[in-house]
Structure 1
Amino acid sequence: YIQLLRRSLYPATLAQGKIKTVATFRYLEQHGLEIMPWRYTGLMHMCLQWRHPKLLKCTKEGDLVVPCLSCPHPGINLPDGWENDVEHHDNYSVKVTEDTNFRLKEQLVSSHSRDPGLVEGLGYFVGRSDYEKYVISRASEADAIAKATTKFSKGLRYTGVGSMLCARSEIFLANRVGNLQEGEHYANMDYVFGSALHHYRGLPLCIVGYDIVCQWFAHIHERSKDLWPNKIKLDNGMDLVPVIGKFHEPAHETNNHEQYSCNLIPRVGCTDFEACKRIWGLHNPLGNSTKTMGPGTRSDSLEAHFGYHNWQKYTNM
């Protein structure tokens, strides 16, 4: 192995104690341009293994991501003593938007034990075990946002994903993507939201956009206190401001709904909080290929694409 790696050759799995297939580092860097059908399985194994060690530079939750430059990060892009700068607290706010995508579904292929994810909880997806345990604990609640989607869940392990993005720069954030078991439920979106704010503890303000924030946000503090795991409970020192995206707010046609309008809420500026729709439009084509993958391969593939999207944003700003 060491001799091959020194010569920029990555080996596939052993067959009867012998290495029969290798790929050059250059090929693995450019994976996706061409795959030889007669070596498909071996090459896919190598590509999945290749991505993982390149990411493993840190081991904390959410460390294996390309971070957002627009979001405030104490010790990185905030001035010293910002905590005491009460007059300019608005400058240290977080603007996020969340939504679901039902194109990125997954069929009942393989299992988590046979095909585990290599980046579980360290990248853009939330940690699977704690997340699914929490969702199951609230499975009996009648809090579905879109029950109509459940009739399409036959033969699927996941009906899609829910995510939270930076509303400023439209970048995927650490531990802000969660699989949807049966449609879009409060339990799923609560965990994704709490996991997101866990990385911003200590900041004074978060403006959160969601299509149905007028329903979902109504009792969020009670749910956080009574139902959420301790590690994702809301920070009492952070003010939360709910908004509805500019495209969706007029469709609600509800009286006294101006409190959720981006045009009237202070500190929103020109942000439209529709970033998720644009981002999902770019990633919808992935659904055709990832839905037939095993659970680990699918999550790692989506992690790679989300990271590439962030890197493109980073380098093209």
Structure 2
Amino acid sequence: LTIVASTGIFKHSIRWCHCAKSSKRFVQLLLCAKLFPASFKNPKTAFTFEVLDQFQLDALECKTAAMNFMSKIGRVTDEVFPSRVPDCYRELLRVSRQWRDIHNRIRAGDVHDRPDVPADGGLALFCPACPQIGINIPPEIEWKADDRLLYRPQLVSDGNMKLVHQLQKRPEDDVSLSDGEMFIVKRAPYAKHLVNAPQRQPKSKCSNHRAQNHGNLNRNHLDSTGKGACACARHGAFVPHCMVDFQKGER
């Protein structure tokens, strides 16, 4: 078993426990040892919980890419010949996504084997200071005459036309672990909405509104031409399940 830790990459010979009270699933045995397997049927590689937390923090604060992080681990393992160290880059890409999704579900209070799934945007965190019924303000039936203006949320919407996404060679490999449960809307309903959306956008009268005027240009190599989202006007927190992909300009 190849074990990736913060102190290096090591290979160990292991023997699975076959005691009467032990779990028959190898994954459960690895998780009890604080090792996250790279596969669930016949695991050959595992990551320690510590190294996954370290990569998640480095990616968030230091913008460290997975390849650079694995290069660092390889250098820690063998400083003279890091090329001899096993390459676990692809395994880290897959495991880090699963690790991040598990943390999001734990934070949202989601548990395993529940019949109900999280609601749209249920795994995302919204602005705690904004008025939310049932969280920090009473139900609408208990409002007074002047409370409607007090409890009215203030939201803004904007788009980023530089946040483009290229077409993938194998889009079927892009599996979403939380489709519609975070900030981006669900794929299937949004694709159905785009079918009825107008293909050509009206030209803006503003002379410097290039985002809309250039929206009808052919961009066959792009899957999306930007991102649009809603946010809290006072604190800038994004609204869950309100982020979409632009197809042509602001379409």
Residue 103 of structure 1, CA deviation: 2.2
Residue 181 of structure 1, CA deviation: 1.1
The 3-state SS of whatever aligns with 1:54 is: helix
Q: Deviations over 1:132-179 (max 9, x none)?
A: 211221133544660314437231111111111011111011111001
Match of 2:152 in 1: 93
Residue 82 of structure 1, CA deviation: 6.2
Q: 1:20 aligns with which of 33, 44, 47?
A: 44
Q: 2:143 aligns with which of 67, 81, 84?
A: 84
Unaligned ranges ≥5, structure 2: 1-26, 72-86, 111-116, 205-211
User: Equivalent residues in 2 for 1:129-148 (5 A)?
Assistant: 129-140=188-199, 142-143=201-202, 146-148=212-214
Matched, 1:178 2:204: no
Residue 112 of structure 1, CA deviation: 4.0
Measured in 2, the distance between the counterparts of 1:158 and 1:111 equals 16
1:163–1:139 CA distance, 2 compared to 1 (3 A): same
Q: Which amino acid aligns with 2:69?
A: I
Q: 2:37 aligns with which of 11, 16, 20?
A: 11
The structure with the larger Rg is 2
User: Equivalent residues in 2 for 1:1-317 (5 A)?
Assistant: 1-13=27-39, 18-31=42-55, 32=59, 33=64, 35-37=69-71, 38-56=87-105, 57=110, 59-79=118-138, 83-140=142-199, 142-143=201-202, 146-151=212-217, 153-185=219-251
Q: Which amino acid aligns with 2:50?
A: R
Match of 1:209 in 2: none
TM-score (norm 1): 0.53
Measured in 1, the distance between the counterparts of 2:203 and 2:48 equals 49
The 3-state SS of whatever aligns with 2:149 is: helix
How big is the alpha-carbon RMSD for the aligned residues of Structure 1 and Structure 2? 2.2
> How much identity, in percent, do the aligned residues show?
28
Matched-pair contact (CA < 8 Å) for 1:35–1:43: no
Measured in 2, the distance between the counterparts of 1:161 and 1:180 equals 6
Measured in 2, the distance between the counterparts of 1:80 and 1:153 equals 47
Matched-pair contact (CA < 8 Å) for 2:230–2:239: yes
Q: Which amino acid aligns with 1:23?
A: F
Query: How many equivalent pairs are there?
Result: 183
TM-score (norm 2): 0.66
Measured in 1, the distance between the counterparts of 2:170 and 2:229 equals 23
Measured in 1, the distance between the counterparts of 2:35 and 2:226 equals 37
User: Greater helix share, 1 or 2?
Assistant: 1
Q: Deviations over 1:176-204 (max 9, x none)?
A: 1001111113xxxxxxxxxxxxxxxxxxx
Q: Which amino acid aligns with 2:70?
A: M
Residue 54 of structure 1, CA deviation: 2.4
1:158–1:6 CA distance, 2 compared to 1 (3 A): same
Match of 2:3 in 1: none
Q: Which runs of 4+ in 1 moved over 6 A?
A: none
Q: Deviations over 1:32-53 (max 9, x none)?
A: 3552152111111100111122
Measured in 2, the distance between the counterparts of 1:110 and 1:118 equals 20
The 3-state SS of whatever aligns with 1:2 is: helix
1:142–1:184 CA distance, 2 compared to 1 (3 A): closer
Q: Which has the higher contact order (CA 8 A, sep 6+)?
A: 1
Unaligned ranges ≥5, structure 1: 186-317
The 3-state SS of whatever aligns with 1:28 is: helix
